[in-house]
Structure 1
Amino acid sequence: MPDMQITTPPDGLPLPQRYGAIATIALGITMAVLDSAIANVALPTISREFQASPAESIWIVNAYQLAIVVSLLTLSFLGDILGYRRIYQWGLVLFTCTSLGCALSSSLDVLTMARVVQGLGGAMLMSVNTALIRIIYPKRFLGRGMAINSLVVAVATAAGPTVAATILSIASWKWLFLINVPFGIIALWLALLFLPDNQQKNSQQHFDVISAIMNALSFGLMLSALSGYAQGVAMKWVLLQLALLLIIGTLFIRRQLRMPVPLFPVDLLRIPLFSLSMCTSVCSFCAQMLAMVSLPFFLQNSLGRDEVATGLLLTPWPLATMVLAPIAGRLIGRFHSGLLGGIGLTVFAAGLFTLALLPAKPVDWDIIWRMMLCGAGFGLFQSPNNHAIVSSAPQNRSGGASGMLGTARLVGQTTGAALVALMFNVCGENGTHAALLLASAFSTAAAIISLMRIKQPVNP
């Protein structure tokens, strides 16, 4: 009887290729995450140039965010079928080309449409980045890879306004988008050289177009209703969107429950560690955005700081995250992710609560040490939590887990931003204080949920 050779997928990439692959991921995700927030600072300038109202110009931001949220799970599902490398490379091409299109836009409508397509490119990058990290790093070093990814996302999210302000101080708003072009070309070159392909594609997996449409409608209606309510849209329209969401969402979930490999991964949500980690992620990112969106208003309107000073006072948050995220990555495997996340989120909640209790006329150090506390807690939590989400899923469902990780972050951030608007509408000048107290509540809830995971096994 002839010997049978069993091929097993390699455990990670060899070191030179691994460095190139993670550099590709870091560069692509930095561009995609930065562009989620970087346009905020330029909205007044863009609206004046195109003679548009503030309400019209806000679609420059909303169009990008909405395109990502409604397509993320669909693209991660395609990654399981077609390969994560292919989806990521297509995403780099689309994101780079549409960044040039944004810079060359001649009207607000053209810019908005370019941002929609750019959002689809960003979704391609975000949908499979952690799935790629899972095959880039050996299992024993996966925590380090997740720490690098968490660090890139956290720093890019927090540093967006500062980066935008720096660019706008020396150049036109068009350079917010033009700067992506050379970096996109470099990232694509690195991707072609170093990115691996997933060995376990689900070639028999069926792509359901109806599920993809229902997924887009469900998330689109949810975010639209939430934002509309927060910004004071007529209640009849909010209720109509909620009714449509209830009908379409129910039909969507029922359809997914009947599918052997669903687009919306209800199969993964049956894994307790995965579902608890998802809840933790949504709550924590909602708390993060409540703070990061509301604090600039307090610093500028109440304390009279200018844009540069505001950016500098917000910087200790990402700097503390940069220090703690690699440490958290090395602790993965030694301590349960639920314990690490619970400790980090408790520190995060303490930082947010102390920010809410700032004195009426704080000196810079009063703000700096509180921001460092928030960043340190968030850095300690995020890497273990992301590792728990990705590693608790079967290998051939890494794309679905990666898509859900990105969806949790974006839903949390979008919810947090909408709640900031609601707090300012309800509380007026005390909106920042109310937003920070609400952020403390969300982070406390996240800490409790994280500690509930300690009894769950690390692997399903």
Structure 2
Amino acid sequence: MSQAVDPEDGLPVPQRYWSAIAIWLAIAMAVLDSSVANIALPTIAREFRVEAHEAIWIVNAYQLAIVTALLPLASLGEIVGYRRVYLAGLALFTTASLFCALSSTLLELTLARMLQGFGAAGIMSINAALVRFTYPQHLLGRAIGFNALVVSLASAVGPSIAAAILAVAHWPWLFAINAPLGLVTFALAAYALPRTARIARRFDLGGAVLNALAFGFVIGGVDLLTRAGRPLLGCVAIAAGIASGTLLAFKGRAEPSPLLPVDLMRIPVFALSVASSICSFSAQMLAFISLPFLFDGVLHRTPVETGLLMTPWPIMVGILGPIAGGLSDRFPAAILGGIGLVLFAVGLGALAMLTPEASFVDVAWRMALCGCGFGFFQAPNNRTMMLSAPRSRAGAAGGMLATARLTGQTGGATAVAVFFALSPTGGAATSLTVAAGLALLGACLSLGRLLPAAPAA
């Protein structure tokens, strides 16, 4: 039976460890499903006899559902309890995974993926808040470091797991495998997750609609602008999304606990942490998408060699994340994050200068340096975001943490598409150079938390 929790002390042992396992199993499944479907897209497109651009909606539907639901579900968690939203999200994710496996048409699979995305949003939006209430404050940095490790490893191994499953089974098993794992995780979460205090207020349905319109129009507009070849309609959609977001922000200024946490954005250290997070994840996505093209077109590596060359980055993130998280319990996150993003920028700049004669070692140390820098930044920054918000707004802070990550990744992916459209041969180098600049900007924002107006957490 789960216990009520003192925010300062976290859960008692061993409940703390069972809660952490449940939290990390669920977030690993949600993150894995962001990438495993990519590998199966050609197979699914052939089976359903659809074009590639139609099959892409299997991925888009999942991502769009997550982005539009993160902040509303984080807000709902503050009202009904983080535990309830997490369990409901996990149950929906597991059920929708079965629907995905049983789908016989592209429409059925796309709708099932959208439901799966809403379930994943329930997991992701509450993830950081539950970590905060599971661990005592003096261990929070280390816990967030392990959380970052789980997310990074899940992102890194997703394509490999998908390839291994497809080598021995049909594509529906990519989703069916979530069912037994989801049931085990649900039972563990129901037993161990903390029960937290709730805020007595009504759910902001109007704000949720504006939030969905803002993200939906912007993401749809970007797709129209960069891939569908309809720039005018894309610009109109983006403008509508920006207008919806502006209305949502103005609406929240008069509310004590708004759905879009403008109250938290008034806290300088929180706002700077969000901004530096967006910069870092934009830089990460710029690199992740452009590097395979660099390795293929410039270094002339095979797909297998490309996969090996991508490996040092997530490995170093996994190693440095928990270490940096532990250090952030003792040293200012502003300094740790600034150092990390400077290292990240140096690694990205070095990658941009690779020549066709570069050896495996030449690439590997650059990739490892990027992973060290990114890993050294992420956990301290996430810890600061969570602790700079009042305990009653932990859900909003966690939702904003996930939103910043997805916003940065979406922006980075869009920028790559633009750079490659402008210069197919030089798009990779341009993307990496811009990524290095964004990492340096993030470092400046991180160090800005040392200023008197924004004391470091």
TM-score interval (norm. to shorter): over 0.9
CA distance in 1, matches of 2:8, 2:384: 21
Question: What amino acid sits opposite 1:311 in the alignment?
Answer: G
Q: Which residue of 2 aligns with 1:448?
A: 444
**Correspondence for 2:198:** 201
Deviation string, structure 1 residues 295-328 (Cα, Å, up to 9, x no partner) = 2233345544444332222111111111111110
1:221 to 213, 217, 220: 217
1:243 aligns with 239
For residue 136 of structure 1, what is the aligned residue in structure 2? 134
1:318 is matched with 314
Alignment gaps of 5+ in structure 1: 1-6
- Please give the per-residue CA displacement for 1:29-54, whole angstroms capped at 9, x wherever unaligned: 11111111221222112111111111
Question: Does structure 1 residue 20 correspond to structure 2 residue 49?
Answer: no
The answer to whether 1:405 aligns with 2:380 is no
For 2:198, what is the secondary structure of its paired residue?
A: coil
Aligned residues: 451
Q: How much does 1:426 deviate?
A: 1.1
- Give the letter for the 2:392 counterpart: N
From 165, 168, 171, the equivalent of 1:167 is: 165
The question of whether the paired residues in 2 share the 8 Å contact of 1:162 and 1:312 is answered with no
Cα deviation for residue 363 of structure 1 reads 2.1
Shift of 1:434: 1.6
CA deviation string 1:246-276 (max 9, x = no partner):
4322322221112221111100000000000
Q: Is the 8 A contact 1:158 1:292 kept in 2?
A: no
What amino acid maps onto 2:69 in structure 1? S
Aligned match of 2:426: 430
In the alignment, which residue of structure 2 is the partner of 1:260? 256
Aligned to 2:368, which of 362, 368, 372? 372
Q: Secondary structure at the match of 1:42?
A: helix
**3-state SS of paired residue (2:38):** coil
Letter of the structure 2 residue corresponding to residue 127 of structure 1: S
Pairwise CA distance, 1:381: 0.3
TM-score between the two structures when normalised by the length of structure 2: 0.95
1:31 equivalent in alignment to 2:29: yes
CA distance in 2, matches of 1:437, 1:169: 37
Which residue matches 1:283? 279
The partner residue of 1:344 within 337, 340, 346 is 340
Alpha-carbon distance, 1:232 to partner: 5.5
Contact 2:386 2:398 in 1 (8 A): yes
| Within-5 A mapping of 1:352-367 | 352-367=348-363
Indicate the residue corresponding to 2:330 in structure 1: 334
Indicate which of 110, 124, 127 corresponds to 2:125: 127
1:9 and 1:442 map into 2 onto residues whose CA distance is 35
**For the structure 1 residues 165 and 295, does the alpha-carbon distance in structure 2 shift closer, same or farther, using more than 3 Å as the test?**
farther
**TM-fit CA distance, 1:100:** 1.4
Quote the residue 2:55 is aligned against.
Answer: 57
1:363-400 CA-partner distances (Å, limit 9, x unpaired): 22222111111111111000000001000000010000
Q: Distance in 1 between matches of 2:192 and 2:185?
A: 10
| 2:222–2:238 Cα contact (<8 Å) kept | no
Shift of the 59–345 alpha-carbon distance from structure 1 to 2, 3 Å rule, reads: same
Question: Are the equivalent residues in 2 in contact too, given 1:162–1:308 (CA < 8 A)?
Answer: no
Alpha-carbon spacing, 1:299–1:183, altered in 2? closer, same or farther (3 Å): farther
Task: Please tell me whether the aligned partners of residues 290 and 420 of structure 1 are also in contact (alpha carbons under 8 angstroms).
Answer: yes
- Contact preservation (8 Å) 1:50, 1:108: yes
TM-aligned CA deviation for residue 414 of structure 1: 1.1
Is the CA contact 2:324–2:375 (under 8 Å) kept in the aligned structure 1? yes
1:299 aligns with 2:292: no
For 1:280, give the aligned amino acid: S
SS at match of 1:259: coil
Measure the CA separation in 2 of the matches of 1:288 and 1:171: 32
Q: How does 1:87-126 map to 2 (within 5 A)?
A: 87-126=85-124
How far has the Cα of 1:82 moved from its partner? 0.7
Question: Does the C-alpha gap of structure 1 residues 278 and 54 become closer, same or farther in structure 2, counting only changes over 3 Å?
Answer: same
How far apart are the structure 1 equivalents of 2:244 and 2:12?
Answer: 46
Aligned to 1:3: none
Deviates more, 1:77-86 or 1:151-160: 151-160
**How far apart in 2 are the matches of 1:417 and 1:80?**
32
Q: Counterpart of 1:43?
A: 41
Task: From 83, 86, 92, give the equivalent of 2:84.
Answer: 86
Rounded to whole Å, the distance in 2 between the matches of 1:420 and 1:11 is 44
CA distance, structure 2, for counterparts of residue 437 and residue 9 of structure 1 = 42
Shift of 1:10: 6.3
CA distance in 2, matches of 1:23, 1:217: 35
1:4 corresponds in structure 2 to: none
Cα distance in 1 between the residues matched to 2:90 and 2:101: 17
Amino acid at match of 2:258: P
The CA RMSD over aligned residues, in Å, is: 1.6
Alignment of 1:418 with 2:418, yes or no, is: no
What is the one-letter code of the residue matched to 2:243? I
- Distance in 2 (CA, whole Å) between partners of 1:230 and 1:181 is 36
- 1:109-165: CA deviation from partner (whole Å, max 9, x where unpaired): 111111100000000000001100111001111111111111112222233333323
Matched to 2:32, the amino acid is L
Q: 1:291 corresponds to which letter in structure 2?
A: A
Structure 2 stretches lacking a partner, 5+ long = none
CA contact (8 A) 2:48 2:106 kept: yes
Q: Does the CA-based 8 Å contact 2:309-2:360 persist in structure 1?
A: yes
For 1:458 and 1:346, how far apart are their aligned partners in 2? 18
What displacement does 1:429 show? 2.4
Is contact 2:149-2:321 (8 Å) kept? yes
The one-letter amino acid of 1:54's match is A
Q: How far 1:27 sits from its partner (Å)?
A: 0.7
- TM-score, normalised to structure 1, is 0.94
Q: Say whether 1:386 aligns with 2:382.
A: yes
Q: How far apart in 1 are the matches of 2:372 and 2:162?
A: 24
